[in-house]
Amino acid sequence: MKKSLALLLVLMLVGAMFAGCAGKTEEAKEVVIYQNKVEIGEQLTAFAAAYTEETGVKVTIKTSGGDSPYAEALKAEFQSDRQPDIFVIEGMGGYNTWADKLGTFEGDEWIDLTALEFVVDGKVIGFPVAVEAWGMAYNVDLLNKAGIDPATLTSQAGYKAAFEKIESMKAELGVDSAVAMAAGPDMRWVTGLHNFNGYLSAGLPYGDTTVIDKLNNGEADMDRLTQYADWVELLFQYADKSVLLTGNYDAQVGQFATGKSVFIHQGNWIDPWLISNGVTFPMAFAPHASVAGEFDSIFIGAPSFYVLNKDSASTQEAKDFLNYMATNEKGHAYMVNEAKMVPAFTNVTLTPDAPLSADVAKWVASGKAYTWLQNDMPDGFGMNTLGPLYESFAKGDIDKQTFIDQVAAKIAENK
Amino acid sequence: MKKQTKDHLVFWLFLAPALISFVVVVIIPFFMGLYYSMTDWTAVADSTPVWVGLENYKSMFSDFAFKYSFIRTFLFSVLSVISINLVALTFAFLVTREIRFKNFYRAGFFIPNLIGGLVLGYIWQFIFKSVVPSIGALLGIDFIENLLLLADPNLTLFGLIFAFTWQYAGYIMMIYVAALLNVPQELLEASEIDGANFWQKLISITIPMIAQAFTITSFLTLVSSFKQYDIIVALTNGGPTDLYQGQVVNSSELLAMHIYNVAFKYNNMAEGQARAIIFFLVLSVVSIAQVYYNKKKEVEM
């Protein structure tokens, strides 16, 4: 008798274990945002809390990113029982992965306020999170001291002259090298994505996709690639070897921030790093001279977009939240003053106080932009397939001609 | 109820929790994985995988990066197994002798094992990138000051083995310590009376007596070096590049990391899964062979 009682108890315990996972209750409408920018996680959460107070709609921010890979975590999030209502994709690569899950925006007020919304087949799919841009950022003080006019930095010849001059004045300027450039294993996004984007779009009209269309069909533009290799060689030649080969993000940005280089191959996302490390010297962007010819624009784009989950139960609430962010002054204040971003919307009057972001706002206003196409290549192509080639080239394991041939061979594999 | 059926019932009931968990988290996912490795699955919710048969397995064996990664993994595993066991055995001998503070040393050697692989990888990255050049500058040796250790494929491999040994040797040492303390003292004393020197005692008595420990330690070190992932991610991130038969390859992208990259960076879940299955098979064969071989060497008292 006693034994069967014990049996019963054990069975109940096991039953309770499984029952614990099954309970689900109906909740009030809630918007869950799963986003990838760790640096704005707190600010966005605070903004969402203020929004909840004003409208009564609960908005939950979940963040994953930085060193933990967002794309992987997002897949796991979708396998869980509470899928996010809003999540983030980065261009066509993300779209191709998630196409079946994406809802569309229609008639929302913010669509008329930006040129950077993510559109596929005439349907508005993504809300631009922010504008980001990169070019050759330079230290204005050091450039003046070297007596170089930034207006000459429009072609490979112009850069070559400037780099040579800096090289000859190294001791006087107190720099280790002209450029802070990184091509090591941790920095393949700088070479394989950002630098390579010059091959894809520099000098072409905004939105021109001829070169990348060819690339995705396995065809390389050999003339362009040969000219582009000169640019890569030039940057590597005038970079500090230890930062170039083994440096990480801190080493690269650190070299620029401490005045040990005149230029840095990075974008305005380094602002928070510079501010938190107390860097105060003035700085600005000059165009990349990625191929032969003259250049007057930097690479501007929206790196990521908020997209809607088609199967969400609170689509309208999600749309309202995004619209509020783009059209309400509190939303603008959050984007510019709190999150330190450059918003993609024309109705924003606030200017960022971060040095490089302020410069980007000027470039955006003057309309001088080359397209971001680096995220439209096949998954892993830029960083994992091309990245190692840059590193070998930087180390001198392969020469320029081999570099060109290998890049062309990798492009041919896309067929 | 008959006594026998009751016993059966109790037996299965107590086995049930462990059995169910094992089936749910190991057996079922394994067969699901086997199925997915023969489809074009990408892990996106709601997408239906299409059956492609052995296509993923075929493409794997024609992939240069996979073959290279395999060779490198074997090289890394062999060298780490040797290095870890040598260091661990040496430590174990030292801390079982009559020295002062031996418990302190035991704890000290063991502590690196308590540090997570990622943290440890970053620490060693810092040491190789910043501390080593500073030491070179301090000593005035230009070669060391300008040495980019993590830009050289072979030095990086040794750096990885060094960091891994530093982490794992203390743990393996504990197993050797336990084994060494169980070696019967009378045997050693008897041999001493017969005039055996240190090496003779070591080779004829101590080593055979701790053969059981060798089985365990070789298995543990072999399996964990084969599966090594976290230290590599933090320390080298797969780099630096190397040239192998004219191709640019990632010199420290070992199998676990290679599989991860194929699955997540290239978004080829099914292909990554296929490689993981092969990885599992190879690792099983190697470790079973090792245990079988070592077992034969053990002596029974």
CB contact under 8 A, B151 and A245: yes
Shortest CB distance from B239 goes to which of A72, A78, A185? Answer: A185
Structural domain of B119: 58-297
Same domain, A179 and A206: yes
**A369 inside domain:** no
**A17 inside domain:** no
Domain count, chain A: 2
Same domain, A168 and A239: yes
Which residues in chain A touch residue B116, judged by CB atoms under 8 angstroms apart? none
Shortest CB distance from A384 goes to which of B44, B149, B261? Answer: B261
Same domain, A306 and A288: no
Angstrom CA distances, B80 to B185, B212, B222, stand at: 32, 20, 8
Give the model's pLDDT for residue A367.
Answer: 78
Domain count, chain B: 1
Q: What is the pTM of this model?
A: 0.82
pLDDT at residue B299 tops 80: no
Chain A residue closest in CA terms to B14? A10
Which residues in chain B touch residue A74, judged by CB atoms under 8 angstroms apart? none
Q: Kindly state whether A250 is in contact with chain B, defined as any CB-CB distance less than 8 angstroms.
A: no
CB contact under 8 A, B265 and A184: no
Same domain, A201 and A89: no
**A373 inside domain:** no
**How far B15 CA sits from the closest chain A CA (Å)?**
12
pLDDT at residue B42 tops 90: no
Same domain, A174 and A220: yes
Chain B residue closest in CA terms to A395? B151
**B224 inside domain:** yes
Structural domain of A256: 133-301+378-412
Q: Kindly state whether B64 is in contact with chain A, defined as any CB-CB distance less than 8 angstroms.
A: no
Same domain, A283 and A186: yes
CB contact under 8 A, B148 and A186: no
Per-residue pLDDT of chain A (415 residues; tens, 9 = 90+): 456 656 665 565 555 555 444 444 445 678 999 998 888 888 999 999 999 999 989 999 998 876 567 877 888 888 877 789 999 988 777 888 888 889 999 888 898 888 788 888 888 999 999 889 999 999 999 999 999 999 999 999 999 999 999 999 999 999 999 999 999 998 999 999 999 999 999 999 888 889 999 999 999 999 999 999 999 999 999 999 999 999 889 999 999 999 999 999 999 989 889 988 999 999 999 999 999 999 999 999 888 899 999 888 888 999 999 999 999 989 999 988 888 888 888 788 888 888 899 899 888 878 788 989 888 888 889 999 999 999 999 999 999 999 999 999 999 998 8
The residue with tokens 């990138």 is B129
Q: Kindly state whether B13 is in contact with chain A, defined as any CB-CB distance less than 8 angstroms.
A: yes
Which residues in chain B touch residue A78, judged by CB atoms under 8 angstroms apart? 44-45
CB contact under 8 A, B42 and A246: no
**B10 inside domain:** no
Shortest CB distance from B248 goes to which of A10, A242, A388? Answer: A388
Here the CATH number for the domain that contains residue A169 is 3.40.190.10
Shortest CB distance from A380 goes to which of B9, B238, B265? Answer: B265
Shortest CB distance from A185 goes to which of B46, B149, B238? Answer: B238
Tokens of A246: 């083994």
**A11 inside domain:** no
Q: Kindly state whether B140 is in contact with chain A, defined as any CB-CB distance less than 8 angstroms.
A: no
Give the model's pLDDT for residue A293.
Answer: 92
- Please write the tens of the pLDDT for every residue from A31-72: 999 998 888 888 999 999 999 999 989 999 998 876 567 877
- Please write the tens of the pLDDT for every residue from A194-207: 999 999 999 998 88
Contacting B residues, span 229-268, partner chain A, CB-CB under 8 Å: 236-243, 248-250, 261, 264-267
pLDDT at residue B254 tops 70: yes
CB contact under 8 A, A397 and B248: yes
Residue of A242, A385, A404 for testing the chain B interface, max B β-carbons within 10 Å: A242
Q: Kindly state whether B19 is in contact with chain A, defined as any CB-CB distance less than 8 angstroms.
A: no
Same domain, A114 and A254: no
Contacting A residues, span 98-157, partner chain B, CB-CB under 8 Å: 98, 100-101
Average pLDDT over residues B269-291: 93
**How far A83 CA sits from the closest chain B CA (Å)?**
10
Residue of B44, B150, B152 for testing the chain A interface, max A β-carbons within 10 Å: B44
One-letter-per-residue 3-state SS of chain B = CCHHHHHHHHHHHHHHHHHHHHHHHHHHHHHHHHHHCCECCCCCCCCCCCECCCHHHHHHHCCHHHHHHHHHHHHHHHHHHHHHHHHHHHHHHHHHCCCCCHHHHHHHHHHHHHCCHHHHHHHHHHHHHHHHHHHHHHHCCHHHHCCCHHHCHHHHHHHHHHHHHHHHHHHHHHHHHHHHHCCCHHHHHHHHHCCCCHHHHHHHHHHHHCHHHHHHHHHHHHHHHHCCCHHHHHHCCCCCEEEECCEEEECCCCHHHHHHHHHHHCCCHHHHHHHHHHHHHHHHHHHHHHHHHHHHHCCCC
Chain B residue closest in CA terms to A392? B241
CB contact under 8 A, B243 and A7: no
Same domain, A200 and A281: yes
- Please write the tens of the pLDDT for every residue from A351-402: 888 889 989 988 887 878 898 988 888 888 999 999 999 999 999 999 999 9
- Please write the tens of the pLDDT for every residue from B112-161: 999 888 999 999 999 998 899 899 899 988 888 888 888 899 999 999 99
Which residues in chain A touch residue B10, judged by CB atoms under 8 angstroms apart? 3, 7
**B7 inside domain:** no
Here the CATH number for the domain that contains residue B103 is 1.10.3720.10
Q: Kindly state whether B144 is in contact with chain A, defined as any CB-CB distance less than 8 angstroms.
A: no
- Looking at per-residue pLDDT, the higher value among B297 and A358 belongs to A358
Same domain, A243 and A388: yes
Give the model's pLDDT for residue A117.
Answer: 85
**Short-list A344, A360, A284, CA closest to A352:** A360
Question: What is d(CA A152, CA A140) in angstroms, rounded to the nearest whole number?
Answer: 14
Same domain, A121 and A141: no
Give the model's pLDDT for residue A25.
Answer: 41
Give the model's pLDDT for residue A28.
Answer: 65
**A245 inside domain:** yes
**How far A98 CA sits from the closest chain B CA (Å)?**
7
Same domain, A179 and A293: yes
Regarding an ipTM greater than 0.90, the answer is no
Same domain, A53 and A74: yes
Question: What is d(CA A287, CA A21) in angstroms, rounded to the nearest whole number?
Answer: 56
Give the model's pLDDT for residue A12.
Answer: 59
Give the model's pLDDT for residue A16.
Answer: 53
